Amino acid sequence: MRKPWLLTAVIGLTCALAGTALAQADGAAVYLRCFGCHTATGAGIPGTFPPLAGHAAELVKADRSYPVKVILYGLAGEIEVGGKKYNGKMPGLGDQLKDDEISAVLNHILSRWGNEKALPKGHKEFTAAEVKAQRAKKLTGEQVLGARPKLK
């Protein structure tokens, strides 16, 4: 072989790119933590856990940071979605999920169940940096609930 350095460089670059792809969080895999309450179809459980289908995009339109806060800090108290009341308690997952996992699961949810059609024009996928910025706020589930009525 005349140029062994070229083969070495190609192999090295291929491995680096594969490692980057593998390092990115898999939103579908992270959602396995969510589907017990929100179901595999995002429909939720009547009266207890609200649907994500058709609703998650509405939250993003009202306040892009709100769904991030819900995942990080949880949500405690009664809410209304689509004219129906839900009174379950969502635990905060900020101590269990990394920033890239939270952004990945949000992007997964927003690409399913009709949410992708209801996103605001020009919507960009969530990033780990956005999650990190919200993580610094140190909220409670009650505070996240208190912010909900302000969503328009």
pLDDT (mean) for 52-60? 94
Asked if residue 16 belongs to a domain, the reply is: no
Distance CA 117, CA 98 (A): 27
Asked if residue 6 belongs to a domain, the reply is: no
Asked if residue 119 belongs to a domain, the reply is: yes
- Domain count across the chain: 1
Distance CA 70, CA 108 (A): 16
Q: How many CB atoms lie within 10 A of CB 97?
A: 19
Averaged pLDDT score across all residues of the chain: 86
Asked if residue 14 belongs to a domain, the reply is: no
Global confidence as pTM? 0.82
Asked if residue 130 belongs to a domain, the reply is: yes
Burial class (CB in 10 A: 0-12, 13-18, 19+), 118: middle
Asked if residue 117 belongs to a domain, the reply is: yes
pLDDT (mean) for 46-68? 94
CA angle 145/115/25 to nearest 5° reads 80
Asked if residue 88 belongs to a domain, the reply is: yes
pLDDT of residue 137 exceeding 70, the answer is yes
Considering only residues 13 and 151, tell me which one the structure prediction assigns the higher pLDDT: 151
Distance CA 17, CA 132 (A): 24
Predicted confidence band of residue 147 (pLDDT cuts 50, 70, 90): very high
Predicted confidence band of residue 3 (pLDDT cuts 50, 70, 90): low
Domain range enclosing 113 = 25-150
Q: What is the CATH number of the domain that holds 139?
A: 1.10.760.10
pLDDT (mean) for 95-104? 97
pLDDT of residue 22 exceeding 80, the answer is no
Q: Out of 24-28, 93-97, 113-117, which region has the weakest mean confidence (pLDDT)?
A: 24-28
CA angle 20/123/101 to nearest 5° reads 35
Looking at residue 103, its pLDDT comes to 97
Asked if residue 144 belongs to a domain, the reply is: yes
pLDDT of residue 77 exceeding 80, the answer is yes
